[in-house]
Amino acid sequence: MSDQSGGGENTRGDIPPPAYTGYDGTPPSYQEHAVKKVDLPPYTGDGAGNTAFVGDDSEEVPPRNRHVTYGYAAMLLSNEELGTDSIFILCLLVCLLFNWVGYIICCCLFTSIAARCGALSGIGLNLIKMLVILRKCQFENPQLVQTQLYLQLHDFQYAALMLLGIVTMFYGFLRYNTAKAQFNRQALLPRYM
């Protein structure tokens, strides 16, 4: 930068920075290093300090309401683990539309109980859908025609696969509803540590 005074002299002063003398080239040993002690507020059972911060001359701080603090924090954590109804329906539809690939996508992307149960219900509903399509439609593909003939000859396997799809679908619904009811019961209980 150019100096605006025109004379080339230092306008901030000719004072050089102070010399650094704190380090002589060798680090101190572990025993020579001074231990710093930090005064913390006393710990209470509910996790909140009963006194003000160290160095603050204000009056004592009353303890927090343990029910609200821990109950709300536990409810948020459980709510994230549980998931929502919209995630359940989203994963059900993804599995219904994209078959087993949708199931893998839902299980890899979502970790909530709602997503896993929705994916399970969607796979069961997808099995039912595929069996109904195989039974009711007319195909020109020779492999699908052979599959259709096989299922017509072996009605017990068709019924067993249909039952497996129905049980899987209802298991996902019931598992999610059970988890949601348990979460709602736990949300009403007071939280004690």
Name the nearest CA neighbour of 101 among 79, 74, 119.
119
Render 66-96 in DSSP notation, one character per residue. Answer: HHHHHHHHHHHHHHHHH--HHHHHHHHHHHH
Give the C-alpha distances (Å, rounded to integers) separating 47 from 78, 111, 129, 143, 187: 20, 30, 54, 67, 20
Interaxial angle between packed helices 155-188 and 113-136, expressed in degrees from 0 to 180 and rounded to the nearest 10: 160
Given this model, what pLDDT does residue 128 score? 94
Least confident segment among 30-39, 106-115, 153-162: 30-39
Given this model, what pLDDT does residue 146 score? 87
What is the pLDDT of the chain when averaged over all its residues?
A: 76
Note the pLDDT tens digit of each residue in 35-44. Answer: 777 777 776 6
For residue 172, what pLDDT band results from cuts at 50, 70 and 90? very high
Given this model, what pLDDT does residue 89 score? 94
